A and B are shown apart, each in its own frame.
Chain A
Amino acid sequence: MSGGVDSAVAAARALDAGHDVTGVHLALSPAPASLRHGARGCCTLEDARDARRAADVLGIPFYVWDFHERFAEDVVDDFVAEYAAGRTPNPCLRCNEKIKFAAVLDRAVALGFDAVVTGHHARLSGGVLRRSVDPAKDQSYVLAVLTCEQLAGAVFPLGGSTKDDVRREAAARGLGVADKPDSHDVCFIADGDTRGFLTRRLGERPGDLVDAESGAVVGRHGGAFGFTVGQRRGLRIDHPAGDGTPRYVLSISPATSTVTVGPAALLDVTAVYAGPPVWTCGEPMLPFAGTAQLRAHGAVSDAVARLADGRLVVELGQAQRGIAAGQAVVLYDDDRVVGSATIESAR
């Protein structure tokens, strides 16, 4: 229970279904701030209090579990290392994979619980993971990394409802978090300044911004880790491209601290090369024809996936822009999650 509306309603529904429910709030920071600011994070003492109050209203026991060391290691350090390696990680996905449905689930099962219930917007039934009925809130992308075994210990009661329904239900149940704003951005970067956070962790690593077409140095930067493939804003390029079109980050080379920029057209990719896949409920018939999503809340493309040396190769029916290594490619059969893998390269 993060202290948000989704997990509060998820707990309520699990309770209604007749389960023996205990509320658990994860302490993920060694020194949580007292008050929440803006829409970021879910790790302040105020959020813990909101979670506690929701548990009180539901009449369930409530505890805080301290996972800040595991979180720092598996999520935050991983986040920093991925950026340092020129990739763009998704920490929510990593948290689901390593914390919520690994460390927390393991501890819960060992303590005698049967499953971890969360307020994720996705449907899960009989081991089949599907998108939420609310496409704007669907979170199946960040859950697709879960193995069949992890999903067996997971319960997502909200997938059949829209966010508006969830908020209405929270209000009807007297849960004070009914109109609490949604949380956005990276929960452990309180001020939302990812580049500043990475600079504090990694130090300045100045380098060049190089134009892909002319090879000319068009600017300097404080660290290649501050960039994401497909990024347009904040490049601070001194002079415009010859044809006057905006330039985007095309690739990042941490070894030389070089960021290559170029026109949008060079961002288009039609093939994605990823690591070994996690199949949600068993390996599908390969090659698999369905759809692929390449970032959270990103566009969906027709896709054909196959294995090459145990790694996933996905051909895209429609060219996609700004595909960053480190993100996940998630394969869907209609609204059903088939599997996922971490993107290594694209062309």
Chain B
Amino acid sequence: MTSGPRNPVYLDHAATTPMLPAAVQAMYEQLIRVGNPSSLHAAGRESRRVVEQAREDIAAAVGARPSEVIFTSGGTESDNLAVKGLFWSRRDADLRRRRIIASAIEHHAVLDSLEWLRKHEDAEVTYLPVDSLGRVHPAALRAAIAEAPEDVALVSVMWANNEVGTVQPIRELAAVAHEHGIPFHTDAVQAVGVLPVDFTASGVDALTLTGHKLGGPMGAGALLLGRDIACTPVLHGGGQERDVRSGTLDAPAIAGLAAAVAHSARDRVERAERLAALRDTLVHGVVQRVSGAVLNGDPGEKLIDGGPSRLPGNAHLSFSGCEGDALLMLLDARGVECSTGSACSAGVSQPSHVLLAMGASVDRARGSLRFALGHPSTEADVDHLLNVIAPVVERARRAGMAGARRESASAREHPTGADWTQADGVPGREPGFGREHTAGADRSEAGGPAQ
């Protein structure tokens, strides 16, 4: 068997990426202190000082004003707040506004919020199509709005897709929405830290970001919300965060989040270039070694809003004749950790709604993997993947054939009479799955929700 390295090669940075030392330090300093940022005494004031400093640092890093930063528990909460909050406030101001326009490739935090509004709040949803690269065209948005501009509550289009990495023309899309005075939300969870995200310059009214995709802690994020944008709260309580998001502010997590956002903004250009070069090596290497492997999404050769047209660290590939989860398992056993890219329940991967929206067949959607590079990624990581990918795909293809075969046990190349009590007695052991057990064996996610 091909032995994996001692430490697994982690290529799932779009799911989550290691915390930056600066973020760990900032968080630790707050974890060991007492003080509720809402308290009036010295300890409270000190904690509040940390939160407000963090707010300013984040605002500066993403081109927003401090008052536009609403701290939340992360991407899902920010998306829920933006979609539901904007819908409610816009509808309450004018009851005709019951329609939400969103791209068909949004993350489930947006999609499921939309579906909930449809079911429980009588909302209508217009899904914008994407092209074969996964891009939303401003003309499509313009057409969708034109159906009935007065009934649109909001538009939501993600900045960059978490699965296939395609970057959307957000400035143009926001401008189209604004022609009719419609607020525009964007889920920029994958974009902040790698793309030139400038809240004010982009023209968007609400922007979702989260900490753990850019070197901050899990469970900390923000919704950037324009000062003049009304948003009905989802969480009610102490009235923190402009009365839009109640709840005791998580000062340690916020400090960690701010450190990560500031740090990743500072070295963004250099890191994005390095990751894009690494990604190209990965993609070209895989396509060279594996026949029938194709890249999904935008190739990343163009510029959009001053940044690349594809997420620099994203390599999303389809492998004909394979099942993505078989590839994932085989790679996991060889110390390569990646994702099928699509959301899952109970670890069962569904064919990606993103690829299906791009016009891919169910088989192509099922036979896909996402390799996501991040700040610690190295050439050695990519080399290791390239060393193992061809035999892995070959084996997964055979397994795919086995899965397709209805007849059982007809042509099984299998030993007989294996005595289970003796491992060494198992004959016919070929270089197949056999896991080179790595330290830290509790990595048990099969697919993992992607974004």
Residues of A in contact with B (beta carbons under 8 Å apart): 14, 17-20, 22, 25, 27, 32, 45, 48, 52, 55-56, 59-66, 68, 97-98, 101-103, 105-115, 117, 124-127, 147-150, 152-153, 155-157
Closest 5 CB pairs between A and B? Answer: A112-B432, A102-B408, A18-B423, A112-B433, A64-B347
Query: Within 8 Å CB of A20, what residues of B?
Result: 423, 433-435, 437
- A112 — nearest CB in chain B belongs to which residue? B432
User: How far is A216 from B150 in the complex, measured between Cα atoms in Å?
Assistant: 72
- B413 — nearest CB in chain A belongs to which residue? A109
Pick from B333, B348, B430 the residue with the most CB of A within 10 Å: B348
User: How far is A117 from B419 in the complex, measured between Cα atoms in Å?
Assistant: 12
User: How far is A83 from B66 in the complex, measured between Cα atoms in Å?
Assistant: 68
* Inter-subunit contact A98/B435 (CB<8 Å): no
Query: Within 8 Å CB of A101, what residues of B?
Result: 408-409
* Inter-subunit contact B432/A63 (CB<8 Å): no
Selected contact of A107 from candidates B403, B422, B442, CB within 8 Å: B403
A22-B441 CB under 8 A given contacts A98-B408, A110-B395:
no
Mask of B418-451 contacts with A, CB within 8 angstroms, 1/0: 1111111010111111110100011110100000
Can you report 12 residue pairs joining A to B where beta carbons are below 8 Å apart? A20-B423, A20-B435, A25-B347, A61-B332, A64-B346, A98-B408, A111-B432, A113-B433, A127-B416, A149-B414, A152-B414, A153-B418
Query: Within 8 Å CB of B306, what residues of A?
Result: none
User: How far is A205 from B348 in the complex, measured between Cα atoms in Å?
Assistant: 37
The yes or no answer to B109 lying at the interface (CB within 8 A) is no
The size bracket of the interface on B is: 35 or more
* Inter-subunit contact B402/A64 (CB<8 Å): no
* Inter-subunit contact B435/A61 (CB<8 Å): yes
Selected contact of A17 from candidates B412, B420, B444, B446, CB within 8 Å: B420
* Inter-subunit contact B444/A56 (CB<8 Å): yes
The yes or no answer to B326 lying at the interface (CB within 8 A) is yes
Known: A63-B329, A111-B326. 11 other contacts (CB 8 A): A59-B442, A63-B325, A63-B446, A68-B348, A97-B408, A98-B408, A108-B433, A109-B414, A111-B330, A114-B429, A147-B409
User: How far is A126 from B416 in the complex, measured between Cα atoms in Å?
Assistant: 8
Pick from B346, B347, B422, B443 the residue with the most CB of A within 10 Å: B346
The yes or no answer to B7 lying at the interface (CB within 8 A) is no
Q: Which B302-335 residues sit within 8 Å CB-CB of chain A?
A: 325-326, 329-330, 332-333
* Inter-subunit contact A52/B444 (CB<8 Å): yes
The yes or no answer to B95 lying at the interface (CB within 8 A) is no
A106-B409 CB under 8 A given contacts A52-B444, A111-B395, A152-B415:
yes
* Inter-subunit contact B446/A110 (CB<8 Å): no
User: How far is A113 from B432 in the complex, measured between Cα atoms in Å?
Assistant: 7
* Inter-subunit contact A106/B412 (CB<8 Å): yes
Query: Within 8 Å CB of B49, what residues of A?
Result: none
User: How far is A45 from B347 in the complex, measured between Cα atoms in Å?
Assistant: 10
- B332 — nearest CB in chain A belongs to which residue? A61
The yes or no answer to B25 lying at the interface (CB within 8 A) is no
Selected contact of B347 from candidates A27, A105, A157, CB within 8 Å: A27
* Inter-subunit contact B420/A155 (CB<8 Å): yes
Query: Within 8 Å CB of A148, what residues of B?
Result: 416
* Inter-subunit contact B409/A17 (CB<8 Å): no
